Amino acid sequence: MDKKDLLMTLKIERDYAKRQALQEIGILRGILDKVEQRVVDGSIIADDGLQGNEWRLYKALSNLEQMNTHIKNINELK
């Protein structure tokens, strides 16, 4: 694999990580909106689905970190 192929592969992986991160951020925004509404309504229940939401947040952050790593790799190849 030459430098051009590697650069193209890294760009594809970066784009995929970016799409994944944006998708997760959208999900998290929806969750946040629901939680905020329940807080306003006074109907929030402790630990109500937090484990699933924490997992989504972790995945979103992981995707962002992965995207950042790919960007650094691409910049090093330039």
Query: pLDDT (tens digit, 9 = 90+) per residue, 1-42?
Result: 688 888 888 888 888 888 888 888 888 777 777 766 665 666
**pLDDT tens, position by position, 57-77:** 767 777 777 877 877 887 787
Tell me, what DSSP letter sits at residue 44?
-
Q: How far is CA 14 from CA 26, 50, 71, in A?
A: 18, 29, 7
CB of 5 closer than 8 Å to CB of 33: no
Q: What's at 77, amino acid-wise?
A: L
CB of 67 closer than 8 Å to CB of 12: no
CB of 59 closer than 8 Å to CB of 17: no
